[in-house]
Structure formats: C-alpha cells, structure tokens
Chain A
Amino acid sequence: MNEVTADRHGIALVVLYLLGSTVIFGLGGRAGTDVWLAFLVAIAVGFPFALMYARIRVLLPGEGLWEGLKSLLGIWPARFVAFNYGFFAWRLSFLVARDFSEFIRTVSLDNTPQVVPVLFSVAVCLWAAKAGIEVLARWSSIFIKVVLVLMFIALILLAKDINFDNFRPVLYHGFIPVVLGALEILEFPLLETVLLLWAFSGFRTKKSPYRIILFGFLIAGAILFIVTGVTLAVIGPDTYRGTYFPVYVAVSRINIAQFLTRLEATVAMVFLIGGFVKVTVCLIVASKALSALLGFSDYRFLVTPLALSIMPGAQWIHKGVIEMNRRATALWQPYEVIIQVIIPTVVWIIAEVKMRKKGPVFRRSGK
C-alpha cells in the first residue's frame, strides 16, 4: 500500500519523534552551565547528517527505502542494512517503552508493576502502527499543536523563576565538556532521525524529504534547546545534573499565588505524546525492515508479534532508573556510530557515485 505523507504532516511527525522520550531527560548535563552551547553545537553538527539522510531518500529510486537500497547495493548488502536498522528500531522501541514505565513509576505510580504501563502504551502503538505512517503523520499534525501550547504555557508560567546567572560562567571548564555534551545530544535524540528514512513510504514531491527531515530536525532542535535552556535557568546546573527528570522538576516549581500549582502533568503529557509517536515509528520501521528481509510487500501483519515482544524487551533492556538515565546520557557508543553515521555515509557515497555514473538511468528507475 502506498502511503504518501504531506510535508506539513511529515514535519510534525519528525518533531514529535525527536521530542519523543527526550523531553524529560537532562541531556548534555556534562556541559554544566554550557548546556545551551552544547545544544547549539549538536544542532550545527547534526544538521549536515540530517541533510545527508534527506539526500539519500531523494537519490534512492523506488517508493520505499528498501526498493532503492536493493537496486543500489544488491539484495544481500541491502538485507544486511535492513536487518541492522530493523534491529536498531526494535531495540529503540524497548528503550522508549521502558522510559515510559520508569517515568510513570518514578513520578506517581510507584507500586505499579513495570509491565502494566508498557502493556497499555504498546496496545495503542500497535493500533497506530497498523494504521500506517500517513495516519500517524496526520495525527502528529494535530497533536503537535497541543504539545506546543502546553510548552508555551509552562514557559510563560516559569518566566518569573528564570535566573540567567545559572548560565554563568560561560566556558569555565573549557570547550571539552561542551563537545562531550554535544556528542551525547547527537546520539540521543538528534541522529535517531536516521530511522525516519525507513518510516516514510512516499512523498508528495522530489524535494519533500529535504523539507520534512530538515525543517523537522531544526524545529525539534530549537524546541529542545529552549526547553533545556529554561530548565537550566530555573533549577541551575547542579540540580540539572543531579535529577533524573530535570524538566519535570523545573515545571513542578510553577506556583502562581498558591493557586496555580502542580503543572507537572503538562510535562508528562508531552512525554506521553512524543513517546507514543516514537514507539510507533520504531514499530513501523522494525516491521518494514523485517518484511523486506523476508520478501513480503506488506509489513502490517508483522506489527502484532513485534509489538507484543516489546513487553519482555522493555523489562530486560534496563535494570532500573539509574541504568536508564546512564544510557540516555551516555556518550556516542560504537554501535550507534555505525547505525547513525557510518552506514548512511557509505550508502550516500555509493548513491552519489552511481547517480553520477548512470545519471538519468538511475533516476528513471525511480518514481
């Protein structure tokens, strides 16, 4: 089934996917008072990669990425790539589902078994994944407004608690912590954009991948930059590093005349909306990659078994909230470097070389 995503809907999907489970974590904490600078560096470094991902999608012929990879690399290398991205997406869905349950357990339902929140979130994600990427993108275009309004309200109400002294001194420990913080932010979440190459089936125009991926990347980067900056300005660098969910802590400080308090639920809502989109995208990508590996054109019949396996996977991926936080704020691991940088770079170079050699022929074999 051909699913064509409109640019506006696609951008909303990319933004929510990147906000995903990210918005609650204290990313880039090792940069201390310079977290905002680490975000700017990460966005600047990540942008060329996002451009490369969009370029790959434009260069590869065919409706889905799989058809393009098959004609570019041949069947077995394409299968190797599909296997790795499918596995990466499947594993990422475990991580995000676990983030869901850990967050819910930590902030409110501390006696609830881990599997209960995962079960309900997986059921909704399964339904959405079966509906397909086009429906999810349309849903995102509606719910991104809810997310933006909630964030804006929280930002306005936090304005009186903002203390710009928390940004000083600038570069007190030099540029190395900023670089380390930027690497941390690049790995999770900015370069997880790579999975979206697999998620989308069709685009309206030839330039749509550029618009969707680049605008989505920049908007999500800007939102994360503002959220992190405001959080740091409200709670300070020590609390930012010392808590598992600093944004939640910052929003919990909202107190308007003892009347308007306890607005942490807004953060939880943003997290749940973003996390839902992220798990669903991961499910779609894992199902598409697996169906490509097995030679099926339809991926939907694989969604249920893969979704059901998230429940045990989410239990096994971490031992607890400490490990979850360590993983979220870890530096770039070799596995992620291969998936996010090396494989896409190799595919892009091969695609550029082949396109220059074959030119219009290579292009004509596509849409």
Chain B
Amino acid sequence: MVILIALVYVIVGVVEVLLWEKRDGNKLAVYVVLMIMSLVFAELMGTGVHIPVISPIGEVISLVKKLIQGGS
C-alpha cells in the first residue's frame, strides 16, 4: 500500500511537471516540497496514523484560554 501510494504520487507529479509550459526552478522546488508533504500525509493515512487537524489562530486562542484559567 505504501509503495502504491508513493508510485501514484510520483506519476502524478512527473506527468504534471512535464505538462508545464515553463519549468521555473523556484516553482519546481516549491511544488516538489509540497508534493512530498502531501505524500507523507497520504502515507500516514494509509498506515492508519491519525493526526489532529489544527488551526493556527485556534491553537493560540486555546493556549491563551489555558493561561487565563491557570492551574496545571
């Protein structure tokens, strides 16, 4: 399963980049990094790992709430 997911991502990534009219280095680097991140998420999902989806401001708010409430 892990290999299959990786293979699908590689095929999608390579085909899409080949279809680009211009292959700018910066764009390519960002694209590769994001595809790798997405692949890691997909692999984690495929292996049954559950990661909570956070929201940046939401985390700050809950931290402030905890600080105001105090205690351990």
Contact = CB atoms under 8 A, between A and B. Distances in A.
B55 A87 contact: yes
Interface stretch (A31-39, A236-244, A334-342): A334-342
A298 to B, nearest CB: 8
A345 interface: no
A258 interface: no
A169 B60 CA distance: 43
Interface in B44-68: 44-45, 50-53, 55-58, 61
Contacts of A316: 45, 50-53
Contacts of A88: 55
A200 interface: no
B52 A308 contact: no
Contacts of B26: 296
B55 A335 contact: yes
Given A94-B53, A311-B45, A316-B51, A305 B58 contact: no
Contacts of B61: 334-335, 338
A303 to B, nearest CB: 10
A87 B57 CA distance: 10
B34 A302 contact: yes
A91 B52 CA distance: 12
A296 B28 CA distance: 12
A338 B57 contact: yes
A117 to B, nearest CB: 15
B42 interface: yes
Nearest to B33: A305
A254 B41 CA distance: 43
B55 A91 contact: yes
B4 interface: no
Contacts of B13: 304
A311 B42 contact: yes
A312 interface: yes
B27 A305 contact: no
A341 B60 CA distance: 17
A294 B30 contact: yes
Contact of B53 (A296, A302, A311, A313): A313
B67 to A, nearest CB: 14
B37 interface: yes
A312 B41 contact: yes
Nearest to B42: A312
Contact of A312 (B30, B44, B56): B44
Nearest to B45: A312
A305 B41 CA distance: 11
A305 B50 contact: no
A334 B62 CA distance: 9
A330 to B, nearest CB: 13
Nearest to A309: B38
Contact of B16 (A298, A304, A313, A317): A304
A84 B31 contact: no
A88 B45 CA distance: 21
Nearest to B26: A296
Nearest to A334: B61
B12 A301 contact: no
A301 B61 CA distance: 33
Contacts of A333: 58
Contacts of B38: 305-306, 308-309
A25 B27 CA distance: 40
13 contacts: A84-B56, A87-B55, A87-B56, A94-B53, A294-B30, A301-B20, A301-B30, A308-B35, A309-B41, A313-B53, A316-B45, A316-B50, A334-B58
Interface of B: 9, 12-13, 16, 20, 26-27, 30-31, 34-35, 37-38, 41-42, 44-45, 50-53, 55-58, 61
Given A304-B13, A311-B45, 4 more contacts: A83-B56, A91-B53, A312-B44, A316-B51
